[in-house]
Amino acid sequence: MKERYGLVGHPLGHSFSRRYFTEKFAREHIDAEYLNFDIADAAELRRIVAETPGLCGLNVTIPHKQAVIPLLDEISDEAREIGAVNVIGITPHGLLKGYNSDVTGFRESLRPLLREHHRRALVLGTGGASRAVVYGLRREGIEPRYVSRTPGEGRIAYDELTPEIMETHTVIVNCTPVGMFPHTDEAPTLPYALLTPGHLLYDLVYNPEETRFLALGREHGTATKNGLEMLHLQAEAGWRCWHEAAD
């Protein structure tokens, strides 16, 4: 039986995973196919697994990275600590095991850009992707701080970003969809005039290649990076997770 893999999330129009894995399977002569499962409710996960013969693994994207956790039989220590899952491996006995490969992709793509003064970071957004980013930053010795549209416990609002905060938090990671195609004229509401060449702006968005967030940073001489390399790295890490679950 042909191996099947897939992606669960909603909506899936912007996802690159199906194209990436379809090309990988063709390039590496792997007899497998990759399917999209656009589900508004994460509770449909078990139905998908039951009704898809040969299913060996799934990727998980917005908005289900946290919602799928109670539906799994096992979860890796790292994914449990992060509190989000973006890869589900299916064991030979049909058990579902959750992993987080976002953190691997993020750390490996960020590390070459880090400098000695990058000690603190602002993480824009509080969803599943931001949890992996926060975990990864801490593993790199950088203290993160959440920024959200509304203040709350453990996070500050955009209008609370003072010159002092901007000066000391020299890494800024956008984990929101703001600026993603087709809304390419939008950007997080940061005080961009306070950016310096010592800042590093990282955007998990990869379409467009340069978001307005990154363009505004570049105007102030900051280092910038989009999320495309992270996507490739996390996809390959997810492939390894699927095979770990199968062993």
| Catalytic machinery residues | 65
Dist CA 54 CA 73 (whole Å): 19
Distance of CA 130 to the CA centre of its chain: 7
Identify which of 102, 57, 108 has the alpha carbon closest to the alpha carbon of residue 78: 102
Peptide bond before residue 63 is cis, with ω within 30 degrees of 0: yes
- 3-state DSSP assignment of residue 47: helix
Q: What are phi and psi of 204, to 5 degrees?
A: -65, -20
Dist CA 220 CA 209 (whole Å): 18
Enter the tokens of residue 216: 């505004």
